[in-house]
Structure 1
Amino acid sequence: MLYRYRSDPSHVISLAEIEIQPDMTYNEEPIRILAREVKELRNKCIALVNVLWQRHGVEEATSELEEAMRK
């Protein structure tokens, strides 16, 4: 059975201002590197880093190539 929603001020999500470019994109900067790991394939090793991005939580951190993040 569904119940009627009772509003609660703690349920409100605060919004952050984001500057959007004319082509509907925005710049995103890496904040810090959370972890580093090396994936071993058959004949080479790939260095990956787990990156925390600006305006995103730790759950949304992505794995990027270490060489790409150095540039």
Structure 2
Amino acid sequence: MKNRLTVQLTMAILLVLSGIVLLFSGFWVAPEGEIHNSVLVAFGEICTFAGALFGVDYSYKIKSIQK
């Protein structure tokens, strides 16, 4: 169970960080016909949201284990 929670926490951190990087890069990358800014921003928001959900689930699981 502890190994699964460690993997879940790691994935949550990676998703949030990659989402934040993509959100910021969406503002700085010029559209050269490869990837439009809106695609980068949308994917960044999805990653950030998924990471937040993983983090909230992890937080509740840790609290339930400690009780």
More helix by share: 2
TM range (shorter): under 0.3
More strand by share: 1
**TM-score when scaled to structure 2?**
0.26
**TM-score when scaled to structure 1?**
0.25
| Structure with bigger gyration radius | 1
